[in-house]
Amino acid sequence: MIVLYLIVGAFFGLFAFAAALHLGSSLWLAFGLYTLVGSTTIILLSVARVITNIFMRRGDVLSPADHRVQGDDSDPVNSSNKELTAPIEVPMRILAVDDDPFILEIMPLISAKAGFSELTAVASGGQALELLKSSEISFDCILLDISMPVMDGVELCELVRQMPQYSETPIIMLTAKRDIAVMGDAYRAGATDYVAKPFDIAELSDRLRIAQELILAQRDQVRQTNTEYKLDLAPTYALKLPDKIKVEGIGSLVDFEAFSSYLSQLPAKQVTDIQMFAVVIEAIEAVDMQLSSRFFAPLLQDVAESSAKCFKPDQTVMAYTNNGTLLIAVNSVHPMLAIDIEAKIENAMHANNSKRNADEYIGIAVSVGGPVQLRSAKAERARIAANQLINLADTRVLDKQGRKVAGLFKR
């Protein structure tokens, strides 16, 4: 950090030196200004840092309104009045990875204010991997900066997800990039949540608490309700699938919580570029009763794989809801028709079924609802869009009744 201050001081000193010479000052006067401006800059930076640290320790750090996430014109999370030091039921061990020395210094302070005092900070992806592989103490939550040299946060996230002990660990991405493509890469790599720099202290604290809820739910094998990310879908089906539908090997398919987080974190200026679709298995309750458990999971896999083929993998994020609906968010400005996507999915499933020769799938069809654009406030985007999509998909099912379905299996 001292080296950084010296570099900044030298820069401003040289600027003053050049300006003095340009205005006709003598060389000695210009050199004097170089020394004065450079030294003053270094002193001011040091004093500012000391004052900031003092305020943070006293709990008087910048208010959320002044430390708001950049690039989003919506209101910050309604947490400015929340008590940041609320008691935590279970300690959460956090690993923070960032190449910025200042971030590594303030992160323990922010974490402690939220009630999480067990935080370890490292400066690179390589150090993080060594620690994750060799440490006798496992970490419950991981904070990753995206923009790091040698190994960026997205690459590191992918490697962490390959470790069996961290396949379900909440991973929160920290970055100054509010770009829809970067966000998509992060969530496809396995990120659970996303926080933009400069930090909204209260928002980051809320994200840590959300991560803790997920950890407690995993430990208890019970999915906890999260008011911000729960879609609260209309009860379309009586079927109740497992809370976490595991479908492996599809990069664009993420957990439901991560999908909801992705939609809520999209930058306001780019959110209109997202088109959403819903894929429903027609008469899914009957299908569930018809198929044995060993065939129902592959069916979900097949629907997801066939749907993924309809879109570019680097532009798509999708997830299953608890009632077996596949929600798809596509980053594309080109209009897409649900009926065309439906035909492509069914043709792909038909091809897969022929290869498997699985008689259990005969008569199964899908319907696609959409497209729907995200126009609501970020906290409501996922819920409103999902309900609209499910209604459109159900309407499509009714519209197809009594008519031959294009593409898929024999009726």
The CATH code of the domain at 256-400 is: 3.30.70.270
0.75 exceeded by the pTM?
no
Distance CA 55, CA 389 (A): 47
The pLDDT of residue 384: 87
Task: Fill in the amino acid letter for 138.
Answer: S
Mean pLDDT in consecutive groups of 10 residues from the start of the chain, 411 residues:
61 73 76 74 65 46 34 38 44 90 88 86 93 85 92 94 90 85 91 82 81 75 42 46 58 86 85 91 74 71 89 90 88 90 89 62 82 80 86 88 49 36
CATH architecture of 94-220: 3-Layer(aba) Sandwich (3.40)
Tell me the domain boundaries of the chain. Answer: 2-51, 94-220, 256-400
Q: Rounded to the nearest 5°, which phi and psi values hold at 283?
A: 50, 50
Enumerate the β-bridge partners of residue 319. 327
Distance CA 171, CA 258 (A): 10
Residue 299 burial class via C-beta count within 10 angstroms: exposed 0-12, middle 13-18, buried 19 and up = buried
Query: Which tokens sit at 293?
Result: 């458990």
